[in-house]
Chain A
Amino acid sequence: GESVGLHLPTLSVQEGDNSIINCAYSNSASDYFIWYKQESGKGPQFIIDIRSNMDKRQGQRVTVLLNKTVKHLSLQIAATQPGDSAVYFCAENRAAGYQKVTFGTGTKLQVIP
């Protein structure tokens, strides 16, 4: 079946360190992967995305890595700050047609000051 799941429910990181949040997916037909951040009391917010024809994409302090061989996705946050504390979701989207974005369970990132 199709699923997008996360390896760890909670991740604690010291402020200033790098964070790595992992995600596994099972649908080989997925074409598009996205990371969203959800702060307490708010809706999810887009962070970064990557197409299946890429294996790495960088943004501001964030990098997404895609390993299609093992169906693994990761989000790296450099120099983690207290404002990065949130739940992070990976999501996948279909290759064709209209959007049907499927989200994983989420990883809670706790930044220790």
Chain B
Amino acid sequence: DSGVTQTPKHLITATGQRVTLRCSPRSGDLSVYWYQQSLDQGLQFLIHYYNGEERAKGNILERFSAQQFPDLHSELNLSSLELGDSALYFCASSGQGVVGEKLFFGSGTQLSVL
């Protein structure tokens, strides 16, 4: 158990809808990262938050947004969903978010857009 909690584990929705994925980092970790993993693809970095502030951005679509709350949990919001958004979404956390820290990953949220 990595200590990172993601909910829900599975999510099935329709095109055009909006969903929210939730992540609770390991106790004491201030940084949260979101990754998207599509079938047969690697992990695509989406965004990194540190203590409530955005620190780095990857290839995150404009339809996607994220935030980190004062209690350090994070939410990834996906809107106007398309079939191609179906993927496994991972959250990871680390202490300070600096280079060299290990990332601890949650078990992911499997999103299916029908």
A43 at the interface (CB under 8 A from B): yes
Instruction: Name the contact of A99 in the complex, choosing from B40, B90, B94, B107 (C-beta under 8 A).
Output: B94
The residue in B33, B42, B45, B97 that gathers the most chain A C-beta atoms within 10 A of its C-beta is B42
Contact A97 B106 (CB under 8 A): no
Q: How far is the CA of A41 from the CA of B90 in the complex (A)?
A: 12
Q: How far is the CA of A89 from the CA of B37 in the complex (A)?
A: 12
Report B32-58 residues with CB < 8 Å from chain A CB: 33, 35, 40-45, 48, 50, 55-56, 58
A-B contact count (CB 8 A): 75
Number of interface residues of A (CB under 8 A): 28
Instruction: Name the contact of A102 in the complex, choosing from B41, B45, B50, B104 (C-beta under 8 A).
Output: B45
Q: How far is the CA of A43 from the CA of B31 in the complex (A)?
A: 17
What's the minimum C-beta distance from A3 to chain B, rounded to whole angstroms? 10
Q: Which 7 A-B pairs have the closest CB atoms?
A: A43-B105, A103-B43, A98-B55, A100-B56, A105-B42, A46-B102, A103-B42
